[in-house]
Amino acid sequence: MNERIVVGAALYDGGRLLAARRSAPPELAGGWELPGGKVEPGERSEDALVRELREELGVEAEPTGRVPGEWPLPGGYVLRVWTARLVSGEPRPLEDHDELRWLAPDQVWSVDWLAADVPAVEAALALPYAAH
């Protein structure tokens, strides 16, 4: 009954995508991911996404659409991704991350994404530009 879902945000601002470098746990530290986290029992995925972006980055964001697909994560979780738009605030690495980077389209593959994020980011980039 408890689905094990991690939601990630393809957070865009001015055509650039936000990438976040994990600082923990040790086996994931240094890898880049889409900010987000685990959906709590009874929580809507979009609400979890907004909550996680507030907690982790200190920003208000609005989910704008689901990126088709889901990608398996260790521990029986799956990663689902939403596009999102920055509503207010400047993202800061408050929790879980030690660096953030806004990536222009030609910089998206300049960071070392976590394994599950490679197909997830590809799927986000495959969406029509209007979704960004």
Ligand X SMILES: Nc1nc2c([nH]c(=O)n2[C@H]2C[C@H](O)[C@@H](COP(=O)(O)OP(=O)(O)OP(=O)(O)O)O2)c(=O)[nH]1
Taking residue 17's Cβ as centre, other Cβ atoms within 10 Å add up to 22
**Shortest-Cβ-distance residue relative to ligand X:** 37
Residue whose CB is less far from ligand X, 77 or 102: 77
Which tokens in the block code for residue 22?
């994990």
Q: Work out whether 36 is an interface residue with ligand X (CB under 6 A).
A: yes
Question: Counting contacts by CB under 6 A, is residue 91 touching ligand X?
Answer: no
Is 34 near ligand X (CB under 6 A)?
yes
Among residues 54 and 85, whose Cβ is nearest to ligand X? 54
Look up tokens 């509503």; give the residue: 87
Interface with ligand X, residue 70, by CB under 6 A: no
The angle formed by the CA atoms of residues 12, 40 and 121, to the nearest 5 degrees, is 30
Of 113, 119, 98, 103, whose CA–CA distance to 22 is shortest? Answer: 98
Q: CA 120 to CA 126: how far, in whole Å? A: 10
Q: Which of 45, 73, 78, 108 binds ligand X (CB under 6 A)?
A: 73
Helix (H, G, I), strand (E, B) or coil at 82: strand
33 binds ligand X (CB under 6 A): yes
Which chain residues interact with ligand X by CB under 6 A?
A: 6, 8, 28, 33-34, 36-38, 52, 73, 77, 79, 96, 114, 116-117
